[in-house]
Structure 1
Amino acid sequence: MTEPASAGDAADVLLPPRTGLHRRNAWGFGLGTLGRDMAATLVTMFLIVYLTEVVQVSNATLAAVTVVLVVMRLFDAVNDPVMGLIVDNTRTRWGKFKPWIAGGALAWAAATIVMFSDWGVEGPWFVVVFIVVYLLWEIAYTVNDISYYGMLPSLSRNQIERERIGVVARVCANIGIFGVVMAIVPVTSALEEVLGSAQSAWFALAVAVAAMMLIFQTITLVTAKEQVSSERMHTSLRELFSVIGRNDQLLWVTLAMVLFMTGYTITTSLGLYYFTYIYGDVGMYPVFAAILGVSQIGGLLLFPLASAKLGRRRVHLLATASCAVGYVVFLFAGTSMLFIGVAGVLLFAGQAFIQLLMMMFIADSVEYGQWKLGRRNESVTFSLQPFIYKAASALASGAVGVTLIVSGINDAGSAADITDVGASAFKVAMMVVPLILVVVSWLVLARRYRLDETRYAEIIADLRLRESTVEARDGES
């Protein structure tokens, strides 16, 4: 392994990007996330709500479903790198990403609609059908997700350009996420009055979300254009483990972000339950969601300025501190909506920074792996991003299921049915456990992640030197 070239030779990776094609890729790629995250949010955040509040499954069925979610999400997360390998080895006239993006989106939309259909079964048969439907949903999601985010590093390897593409993508994604979060209560209530049942209302919402996802994915397929070519190198299954296992920076990012996202997902998954059974006014949930949505989008828009002024390491420390203080304020907010709102702003503005940093850290790990291992594997490397989300979702699902049973919420009819002990257990799960995970996540990255701006620029300079050497050698032969 050679030492990288000097940072001065790679200053262009930190210069402002070109405008025309950059804007096309930023908006083309970014808008696709809006529909994707609407569909993902409907299931990852509200599937349990649908099962407990609409289908009204028993504690036994909820326990079984919780086990299924944990096992299947972990199993699917482990399979993500294999899908990344398949994408990286794909060669078509449309490139290696877009065929999988299109096919995955179609299957994902269909599975989402089936997920919220009336299956007409109960007990053990409900669990069996749930396993089949959820497995189809996860496979389709994986196909689309791996190929979609695998395309990001190929759109540019200029760090500023990547950050701007990432900002647009995360802003659009958060519009999709919080559009669903804010709409879930008023829209399903309105649809229930029109359609006559809560199940029909949720089904109609699922159809609408699936259609939106396909529309925005089509925008990406038509407009996004790759700029960084990949080597025509086939990666075998045996080499897959080397691509991931020897990329130490990617592994540290993965560990840290699984910890952070597990805490974050626990908090967001319990949000609707908090306002229904702890705060005692579900009508405040859309208001809280609006505050969070504005906070996250504001954080994302401020990220490029903060990154330019402070650097990524200081931004990461600032964001972690914001999240930690937010959890403390939330824990002691009581029934004060003012303090709950302040906590939400601190939590979700900080989370927005960390969410974008995660994407950038993984994207930069593509070039680090190329420099260290001599091969460029965008999809295999970026398969660790959905792995992070799915592993975190699996662990959070287990925590949420246990919390709902232990706190007594799954059997409760209203906030009056929750004991003080149950409320305390709920708050520990929603606020204290995530706080600990956020701090540990920061410690891992602060001590182990080394791809700062200077180091990345050096690596890019060395890669370009290698490429020019190969081109010169090929020209002489």
Structure 2
Amino acid sequence: MASQRDPDATAALFQRNRWAFSVGTLGRDMVYALVSLYLIVFLTEVLDASDTFMWWAGWLILAARLFDAVMDVVMGSVVDNTRSRWGHYKPWIAAGAVASAFCTLLLFTDLGLPDGSYVVAFALIYLLWGLTWTMNDIPYWTLLPALSLDQKQRERIGALAKIFSTVGLFSVVVAIIPVTGALGGDTRAWFLFTAVVVAIMLAGQLVTLLGVREPQLAVEQPKVTLRGLWRVVAGNDQLLWTAIAMVLFMTGYVTTTSFGVYFFKYAYRDEGMYTPFGAVLGVAQLTGFLVFPLFRRRFSRRTLYTAATTAVVAGYVLFFFAPMDMLWIGAAGLLLFTGQSFVVVLMLVFLTDCIEYGHWKLGARNAAVTFALQPFINKVGAAVGTQIVSVVLILSGINSAATPDDVSPQGLLMMRIAMLVLPLVLIVAGYLVYRAKYRIDEQFYARIVGELAERGQLTTDQGIADR
């Protein structure tokens, strides 16, 4: 049993937890990037799915993701109610990792079925993937705020986790086209690539499961009932406003990134440039995560969010008006993704602070239910963003085009507007919601934690459970 009264042991534990938790995000984000960004590419460019299939598949993906997003909150209550020798989180993290790995392999398998049967099978597999991913995702990210009550420590964990997740995401972005191409570019090549990604995810999850030791930060709470779920979510006004702002941001971000392969193939007319462009953006995003703690020491969260949003807006405007020249497009991408990296870390820690706010306001600590809004947000954003892409690919004629020359100028303009103008509007709207409604600043958070400690609802010793 370690204690905060032993500063050296506490510091060592924090570093151990910080790295073991963060390593686990590497493979997870590789899998998530593969499914959220490239499943539609696999369907349209590898399986050569028809417009009819894509129309039905797009709506089924949207429905499955929205249903799964709602189930996130239910899964949060299940995690909060879990009592085991391994804690609230680890049993679900392990089970979800294995189950979602299997479903990921099925998604990138050619089932050899006719369109009608394949739509049904695909919808079922995709729904199962979402549910099993939720089983892992909710407890995994809820583990982050369970590691510390200190805002700066949470920011350090979040920033490092996002560094690893960005390495995972952009390793897929950079590698998927050349590697699958080198393997033949067919369904077998994509399956092999998926198998390697899944193996990396499982290895990273094992590091988290064996390496993280969970502190006891709060007095154990009564189990939350399904009826009580509504009060937990609806009663936390700061959580709801944060969720709205994040959904707007993530929808815009996913829409832009999901068009990447299509932009370089059909508008830029050099699909090979997608890989170096992705590498540059990956470096930009990594740099943003690395320098975030340095900027955080000097500037408030609100100032950083404003500056980051300004950079994102400048990137979108430059990208839209840029000529088909990698120098201009690359500069726009650097602005966009560096700003985006700051926003991602900030929104992550906004959500973690909503846990203590809900505890303070409602009298009960429901960490997993509260933090379930993060994957809920990601899934809603991905669902809407992917459906925008699917519809635009059909209406613009890109999906049915045999070559880039077969896409009309009007079709390319439609893609550019959906890729750059609509996301810009959504991201600015999210920022305005945050500025108008979010009020948990550093001073207010300190007051919340102080009052919870006075009530006896937070532990003052913070012993470490041996699990």
Alignment TM class, shorter chain as reference: over 0.9
Distance 1:293 1:165, change over 3 A: same
Work out whether residues 452 and 458 of structure 2, in 8 Å CA contact, stay in contact via their aligned partners in 1. no
Work out whether residues 276 and 414 of structure 1, in 8 Å CA contact, stay in contact via their aligned partners in 2. no
The correspondence for 2:428, drawn from 439, 445, 449, is 439
Work out whether residues 251 and 384 of structure 2, in 8 Å CA contact, stay in contact via their aligned partners in 1. yes
Amino acid at match of 2:451: D
Residue 242 of structure 2 aligns with which residue? 253
Amino acid at match of 2:39: L
Distance 1:391 1:468, change over 3 A: closer
The correspondence for 1:113, drawn from 100, 105, 113, is 105
Residue 463 of structure 2 aligns with which residue? none
**TM-superposed deviation, 1:18:** 5.3
Tell me the distance in 2 between the aligned counterparts of 1:470 and 1:129.
49
Residue 464 of structure 2 aligns with which residue? none
Residue 422 of structure 1 aligns with which residue? 411
Residue 209 of structure 2 aligns with which residue? 221
Other structure's SS at 1:375 match = coil
Tell me the distance in 1 between the aligned counterparts of 2:241 and 2:169.
27
Deviations 1:198-219 (A, max 9, x none): 1000000111111110000000
The correspondence for 2:44, drawn from 42, 52, 59, is 52
Residue pairs, 1:77-92, within 5 angstroms? 77-92=69-84
Residue pairs, 1:304-323, within 5 angstroms? 304-323=293-312
Tell me the distance in 2 between the aligned counterparts of 1:313 and 1:470.
30
Tell me the distance in 1 between the aligned counterparts of 2:406 and 2:225.
57
Tell me the distance in 2 between the aligned counterparts of 1:163 and 1:101.
22
Work out whether residues 231 and 375 of structure 1, in 8 Å CA contact, stay in contact via their aligned partners in 2. no
Tell me the distance in 2 between the aligned counterparts of 1:59 and 1:375.
50
**TM-superposed deviation, 1:334:** 2.0
Residue pairs, 1:274-289, within 5 angstroms? 274-289=263-278
Residue 400 of structure 2 aligns with which residue? 411
Amino acid at match of 1:300: F
Distance 1:230 1:348, change over 3 A: farther
**TM-superposed deviation, 1:398:** 1.3
Instruction: Out of 407-416 and 271-280, give the one that drifted further.
Output: 407-416
Tell me the distance in 1 between the aligned counterparts of 2:110 and 2:428.
42
Residue 210 of structure 1 aligns with which residue? 198
Deviations 1:419-475 (A, max 9, x none): 11111101000000001011111000001000011111111111111118999xxxx
Work out whether residues 250 and 365 of structure 1, in 8 Å CA contact, stay in contact via their aligned partners in 2. yes
Distance 1:363 1:200, change over 3 A: same
The correspondence for 2:352, drawn from 338, 360, 363, is 363
Tell me the distance in 2 between the aligned counterparts of 1:150 and 1:189.
38
Residue 226 of structure 2 aligns with which residue? 237
Distance 1:107 1:123, change over 3 A: same
Deviations 1:352-400 (A, max 9, x none): 0111111100000000001111111111011000000000011111100
**TM-superposed deviation, 1:413:** 2.1
Residue 26 of structure 2 aligns with which residue? 34
Residue 174 of structure 1 aligns with which residue? 166
Amino acid at match of 1:222: L
Other structure's SS at 1:121 match = coil
> TM-score, normalised to structure 1's length?
0.93
The ranges of structure 1 where at least 4 consecutive aligned residues each deviate by more than 4 angstroms after the TM superposition are 468-471
1:163 to 2:155 alignment: yes
**TM-superposed deviation, 1:230:** 4.9
Instruction: Out of 406-415 and 382-391, give the one that drifted further.
Output: 406-415
Deviations 1:283-304 (A, max 9, x none): 1001110011001010011111
Q: Give the number of aligned pairs.
A: 454
Distance 1:365 1:469, change over 3 A: closer
The correspondence for 1:64, drawn from 35, 56, 61, is 56
Distance 1:233 1:425, change over 3 A: same
Work out whether residues 31 and 169 of structure 1, in 8 Å CA contact, stay in contact via their aligned partners in 2. yes
RMSD of aligned Cα (Å): 1.7
Other structure's SS at 1:411 match = coil
Tell me the distance in 2 between the aligned counterparts of 1:226 and 1:267.
37
Amino acid at match of 1:213: M
Work out whether residues 181 and 289 of structure 1, in 8 Å CA contact, stay in contact via their aligned partners in 2. yes
Amino acid at match of 2:91: P
Residue 475 of structure 1 aligns with which residue? none
Tell me the distance in 2 between the aligned counterparts of 1:137 and 1:429.
27
Amino acid at match of 2:371: F
Residue 331 of structure 1 aligns with which residue? 320
Work out whether residues 219 and 457 of structure 2, in 8 Å CA contact, stay in contact via their aligned partners in 1. no
Residue 464 of structure 1 aligns with which residue? 453
Tell me the distance in 2 between the aligned counterparts of 1:201 and 1:53.
13
Amino acid at match of 2:337: F
> TM-score, normalised to structure 2's length?
0.95
